[in-house]
Structures are given as structure tokens and as C-alpha cells.
Structure 1
Amino acid sequence: MSAEHAPAVPPRAAAAAGGQASLPRKIAAITIGNGLEFFDFAIYTYFATILGKQFFPASSPMTQLLLSLATFGIGFVVRPLGGIVIGSYADRAGRKAAMSLTLWLMAAGSAVFVVVPTYAQAGPLAPCLLVLGRLIQGFAVGGEVGASTSMLLEYAGPRNRGFFASWQLFSQALSTLLGSLVGLGLSAALSPAQLEAWGWRIPFLIGLALIPLGTYVRRHLDETHARADVRGGKAAGTPVMAVLRDHRRKVVLGVLMTAGATSSNYIALHYLTNYAVGVLKLPFSTGLWASLLAGALQMVLAAAAGMASDTWGRKRVANVARVLLLVAILPAFGWLSAAPGIGRLLAVAAILVVPTVFISVSTVTMITEVFPRAVRATGLSIVYGIGVSIFGGFAQFLSTWLIELTGSRLAPAWYVMALGVLALWAVTRSEEQAGRALD
């Protein structure tokens, strides 16, 4: 057999050859790089109210917030495209090459935010440049998740894939935690006028400066997917064609499961900040404390959620957590809106995050392990890109719009519940893969 057709070295064999300490280092390298990339993408949401004032002059603060959140959602529109292009690249050239590419694309997107002029300085050109930065970031993240999650699962064995996949969610929680800490630090160190004038650029500058760190730590990863033979790849068709031809049912079910997971994730971990500030009129720092708590809880619970799905199965864990969230979310939003305050805000954040973590970890594991190695990164990227771009990226905008339309502060809860019911059905129709060989 030629070197071009040789299968990828089994991750466990590679780990054994490199010493027992090598596998934790590889997990850390994936987690750190992924967390840094999501930090650059996520910090926008913590400053959405300020960015609305700087880039979208409007008659009311609610309209400014809606336009700012719509721009946040635009970053998700190109995720499916990024997932298709970079996911296919990961299935052909390897996971490492794809993850290096996404890091530098994210750096380019963050650089836009560091230098972009405000509306007062450049007029309509300013929001156009803001949208461009979000599009570049969204394209990068769309390819990052498929490559990095595929690599995590390919390092794992049949009985610990949920635990390994949980580090994907850990890294996203890490970005939430770091973004909240940066926001709280800036709100304490700067006056509101300074924060609105130039302080909001600092988090994007920090994220840009950290990208080389992510590139460095990923240099030590062992490839888990052999480079595909070019002629063989053409004969068999592209990974995208193979996914859409042979795995359509998995894609549909995966998108529905992702819709339920990502809607609850973005409402619980990100939207509560803007909900507290823009809807409940609480101070900016108060809203950030909710995101800080949410990120910390997800970091603490992610590994436990992964191990639970390895022990009791993905479907059981996802369904039990989903039912608990469906029962709790409406009373939680009603209780918070009745008497807004930091105590209730933090309590609601905890109530929503705990089941959301178990849902998210089980879901990302399920939708990754159902695809074969040859198209795994592409399949996951397509599912994740479509599900998150439609139902997660615009979750904050749609929730705020529904509040404005209906006059009800409970609209975000109804949004999560509607998608949660669809996800519950999709999970029941999917196959349990816990404990089975991956390939």
C-alpha cells in the first residue's frame, strides 16, 4: 500500500508511542486554540449595546440593540459556507491544516474591529465594515468546529467519546468566561464615556494578540486523518457531495438537534447579558455577571456531562436535560422579569445553564460520531453551520424582536421551548452510538 493510501495512525497508538502525557497536551492544544477563536467571535455580544450606539444611530435604544444583534447574527450566515469549504479541506488535507487556517481567518476578522471607524467618523461605511468583520469571523468559526471536534473524537475510544467531545464545550465556556472578565475589568477601569468611545476595541485587540498563541500550541498536535489521494478523492466525489448523497437523514436530524441545543445555549450563556441591559434596564456590569456565572458553570459541568453521556447514553442524557429545561425556562423568565435584580438574574442563569450543558455536550457528540471518518469534519460542519446560523446566531435578535412585537418579556423562553420540542423529537429518531466503535 502506498503512503498516500495508508490509513491515519490510530490516535491511541500515536498517544502510546508519544507517552501518556501527550494525549492531555493534545486535548489542551485543541481546547486552547478553540477557546481563543471563540473568544474573538463571542466578545461582540457583550458589547452589543455599546456597538449599537456607535454604529447604528436610531431613534430608540431598542432599535439600536436590534440592529447590533442583527449584525451579530450576520456572522452566522456564512458559517455553513465556512463549514463546507474548511470542513471539506479538513477531510482532504487533515485536521491540523484546517485549524491553522481558521485561526488566521479569525485574526483577520478581529483586526477589522480594532481599526473600524464609527458611524460618526465614516457614516454608512462604518456598519458595512462591521458586517465584513463579522462575516470573516463567521466563516472561520464555521470551519473550526468541524475540524476540532472531529479531532477530539478521533483521539477518543468507544467509551469516552462524550468526555473528549465535552472539551469543545469547555473551550466555548472558557471564551465566555474570559470575555465576561475582560468586560467587567473594562467597566471597572474605564468611565462609561471612555468605554463607549474607545474601550470597546480593547477586547478585540486582546483576541487578535492571542491568535499566535493558539497557532503555537496547535503545532504539537498529531494528525488523526490521513491526507486523501487527490485522484481517489475526485473519483469518489467531494466530501460535501458524499454527505448530501449518503447521509441526508443524519443531516436533517442533526440540524434539528443543533437548533434545540444552540438556541438554549445562546439564550442562557449570551443573551441574558443583553436582556438584562437592553430589556430589564439593569447596569452593564450586572449583565456581565450573568455571562460570567454561565461560563463558569459550563466549564465545571462540561466534563461531567460528557461522562454522563458515555455512561447512560447520549439520547437519555439529552432527553432528560431537555425536559428539565422545557419545564423550568418559562417560570424562570417570568420570575426574573417580575422583579429584575442581580440575585434573580444569576439564579436564572444557573437554572438555564445546568440542563443546557448536558444537552449541548450530548448533542455535539451525537452529531459528530454518526459520520464516517472520511466525511466527518464536513458532515459536522454542515449540520452545525446550518443549525447554528439560523437558530443560534439570530436567537438574540429574534428574541428581542419578539419582545418588541408582543410586548412580552417571556418571548425568549417561548423561542427556546418551540425549538426544544423539535430537538426532542429528532433525538428520539436518532441512533445511539455510545459505546460503539467510531469507524
Structure 2
Amino acid sequence: MIQTTKRNLTGQDIKTLFLASLGGALEFYDFVIFVFFAAVIGQLFFPPDIPDWLRQLQSYGIFAAGYLARPLGGVVMAHFGDLFGRKRMFTLSVFLMAVPTLLIGLLPVYANIGYAAPIALLALRVLQGAAIGGEVPGAWVFVAEHVPPRRIGVACGLLTAGLTFGILLGSLAATAVNVTLTPEQIHDYGWRLPFLVGGVFGFLAVYLRSWLEETPIFLEIRQRKALSQELPLKAVIRYHGKAILVSALTTWTLTAAIVVLILMTPTLLQKLAGFSPAATLEANSLATLTLSIACVLVGMAADRFGAVPVLVLGGIGLVVCGYLMYVGLHNAPQMLLPFYGLTGLFVGTIAVVPFIMVRVFPPAVRFSGVSFAYNVAYAVFGGLTPLVVSLLTAKDPVAPAHYVAVTVVIGVVAVLVHGRWARHLPIGRVQAAE
């Protein structure tokens, strides 16, 4: 057995975690920057004579298309990752993200090419979704298989912090554009700048990935000829239905926390409470910073205490913060920064989700299992969440907080029922299907 439970993190482990996390941050920036400019993109890529609510719905629809494309990219990359190695797919995913991000920044708008503009935007967004579908589960599996079993939580926490730091980079880029440019300049060319920069970031991430090494566990699997004897996805579906279910339900909690409280809330607060774009983006940057820090702390806590208490306590805080944002701010708008900062801290509870997922699937099909469960759940829940929350918010301004509360309860129940898996399935057990 390559890994032992008593081994501490080595210098090589730390280097791997750093490079994987930094590359993930750059790739996730590319994926999320779209949402920060959804309003101006809706104005530029759709007919000017349609109602504002329909334009917003169509913009979020294209945003959702990226999530709906995730399962295809994730399953395909995971299939080859389980058969031929994690590193190759880990590097390919970031390259497939860089190209469409750069092209979005160069796209002609509706005024130039008519309906070809939103169609091209949709196609590039689908390519982005396919890339991120392989990136996120691949990254979690990659780092989890590089570190000792008792450090899986901190490894997944650091990687998740890197991914969320990509959101922070997107928020900072959007803030910089909104602060330094006038609305007319943003409309004319400013919205393109973050995409162009993101394309360059993406190619930098490709270079960073070239310094990584294949995971010891996959090398052991290949040496022992313990690769799955059937299609990895087929083995996952046949033998690991319960693992898929608990992974999918906790992923729903993760999507609600990220999509609603981090990605959608700045725009919703502008519309519902009259906050300025600059104020909400500044608060969002603080929330994303506290989120990144909390991911590491949550990973450390999961290593020490297990998934159940971490998710239960973190989930309670998440629900409370959701209502602070959508009820408390109406009575105390001056509390935007502290409320949003605290919310980001509890959104960090999401770092317990990969800690669970990498343990409930065995090594030979781990990449396929995590990718299938996570990406299908994110495609359904993450893709539909902006549409559902937008429609519900039109009737009830507190709907976003209600939605987060419901998903937290579902995630906690799933882990309470199956929580024993989160600590007791050996990360290094080599087996083909079960």
C-alpha cells in the first residue's frame, strides 16, 4: 500500500496542493466571470425590444447551459481518467476552458450579427461547461489521492479554496471594471476585458499543470492491474447507487450555497434592496475571501471530527446567514459587509462535500463516480437554480433564503443517514468495482 495513515504531508504534497489549487482558481475564474456581467451580456446579445425580465431569463439560461453541459465533459474525462490516468485529463480540462473564454471576449454582439451572437455565446458556454465538468471532480480526486488518508479533508479544503478563490478573482475583476469604467464604456468594450484576461490565465494554468505528477494510488492500481474490468461508469451505476445518491444530494446543498449566496446575491440585492453594483461587488469579494479561508478550516475540521458534525453545524449557520442577507439587510442595510462576510464564512461548509465524495467511491472507479454524481447533480440543481430562484423571487423576495434552507436540510439528512461512509471507507483501497 503506497499511502499510510501515519504519514505527514511532504514538501511534494504541498507543492502538488499549491499548483492544483492555483490552476483550479484560474480555471474557475474563467467559468464564473460570465455571471458578473450577465446583465450587460443580456443587453448586448439579445434583441433590444424584448422585456427586461425575459432578457435576464435568457442570460441566466445561457449561464445555466454551462452547468447542463458539465455531465458530458465530466463523464468522458473521468472515463479516461480512470483508465489512463488522472493527470492527463486534469491538464486537458483547463486547456478546454481557456479557448472558449478567450473567444467569448472576442465575440460580435447582436447588433453586428443578429441571432448568430447568442447562438455562438451558447456554444462557447457549453464548451466551458464540459471543461469544468472534468476539472472539479478531477481536481478533488487528484489531490485526495496524493495525500495521506488523514489529510484528505485539508487537501479537499485547500483545493476547494482554490476554486472559490477563482470566484473572488472574478468578483475583483468585475469590481475593477465597474469602478474604473463608466456604464457606457462597460457596455462598449469593458465587459470583454475579464474574458480576455481569463483566456490568458487559462493558458497559464495549463503550464502549471505540466509540473504535476500522476497520483500514487492510480499508479498502484495500474501496477496491480486492478483497473475496472468494465466501463467505469457502468460499474459506478451498477454497484454504487447509494454513494451516487448521497453525493448528489450533498452537491445540491453545495450548488445552492454557491449559486444563490455567492453568484446571484449581488444582482438580487441590487434589484431587491437598491444596493449599488459597486457596493454589492465589494461585499461579494469579502464574502468570497472568507469562503476561501473557511474551506481550509472546514477541511481540517472534517479530518478531525468527520463529515456529520461539520455539515450539521455549518448548515445551521448557512441557513441563519441566508435569512440575514434577505431579511436582515432590509432593516439594517449598513450591515451589508459584516453580514455578507459572515455568510461567506458559512458557505465554506461546502468543503465537506468533496471530503465525502472521494471516500464513498473506490479508487478504480473513483473519478467516474465523483464526476457522474457531482456533475449530474450540478447540471440539474446548479443549472436550474438561477431560473427557479429568479421566478420565485418575483413572488417572494425572501425566496432565495428559503431555497438555501431547504437544500441544507436535504444535505444534512443525506449525510446523517449515510454519514458512516464519510470516515470509514479507506481512500487507498484498491478494487475494481466494489
| TM-score, normalised by the number of residues in structure 1 | 0.90
Question: Aligned residues: percent identity?
Answer: 28
**Which residue of the other structure, out of 370, 374, 378, is the alignment partner of 1:384?**
374
Shift of 1:371: 0.7
- The equivalent residue for 1:319 is 312
**Which residue of the other structure, out of 116, 121, 140, is the alignment partner of 2:131?**
140
Contact 1:69-1:394 within 8 A present in 2 as well: no
Please give the per-residue CA displacement for 1:133-153, whole angstroms capped at 9, x wherever unaligned.
110000000011121110111
* Cα pair distance change 1:366/1:212, threshold 3 Å: same
Q: 1:299 aligned to 2:292? A: yes
Contact 1:77-1:390 within 8 A present in 2 as well: yes
SS of the residue aligned with 1:240?
A: helix
- The equivalent residue for 2:163 is 172
Within-5 A mapping of 1:179-190:
179-190=170-181
Bigger CA drift: 136-145 or 174-183?
A: 174-183
- The equivalent residue for 2:432 is none
Q: 1:425 aligned to 2:413? A: yes
* Cα pair distance change 1:389/1:58, threshold 3 Å: farther
Within-5 A mapping of 1:232-247:
236-247=229-240
- The equivalent residue for 2:61 is 70
Please give the per-residue CA displacement for 1:307-338, whole angstroms capped at 9, x wherever unaligned.
11111111110112112323442354112245
Alignment partners' CA distance in 2, 1:362 and 1:124: 43
Contact 2:359-2:426 within 8 A present in 1 as well: no
Shift of 1:58: 4.8
SS of the residue aligned with 1:115?
A: coil
- The equivalent residue for 1:6 is none
Q: 1:368 aligned to 2:358? A: yes
SS of the residue aligned with 2:415?
A: helix
- The equivalent residue for 1:38 is 28
Contact 1:12-1:156 within 8 A present in 2 as well: no
Contact 1:111-1:205 within 8 A present in 2 as well: yes
Q: Which amino acid aligns with 1:194?
A: Q
Q: CA RMSD in A?
A: 2.4
| TM-score, normalised by the number of residues in structure 2 | 0.91
Alignment partners' CA distance in 1, 2:165 and 2:402: 28
Alignment partners' CA distance in 2, 1:228 and 1:157: 16
Alignment partners' CA distance in 1, 2:413 and 2:49: 41
Q: Which amino acid aligns with 2:377?
A: G
Contact 1:315-1:432 within 8 A present in 2 as well: no
Within-5 A mapping of 1:98-117:
98-117=89-108
Bigger CA drift: 409-418 or 51-60?
A: 51-60
| Stretches of structure 2 lacking an aligned partner (at least 5 in a row) | 430-434
Equivalent residues, number: 422
- The equivalent residue for 1:123 is 114
Show structure 1 runs of 4+ deviating over 4 A.
232-235
Shift of 1:435: 6.8
* Cα pair distance change 1:196/1:233, threshold 3 Å: farther
Shift of 1:390: 1.7
Shift of 1:158: 2.4
Please give the per-residue CA displacement for 1:175-208, whole angstroms capped at 9, x wherever unaligned.
1111111112112221110111111111111111
Contact 1:146-1:376 within 8 A present in 2 as well: no
| Stretches of structure 1 lacking an aligned partner (at least 5 in a row) | 1-8
- The equivalent residue for 1:4 is none
Q: 1:275 aligned to 2:268? A: yes
- The equivalent residue for 1:348 is 339
Shift of 1:121: 1.2
* Cα pair distance change 1:28/1:328, threshold 3 Å: closer
Shift of 1:11: 6.3
Bigger CA drift: 313-322 or 328-337?
A: 328-337
Shift of 1:261: 1.9
- The equivalent residue for 2:259 is 266
Alignment partners' CA distance in 1, 2:290 and 2:416: 27
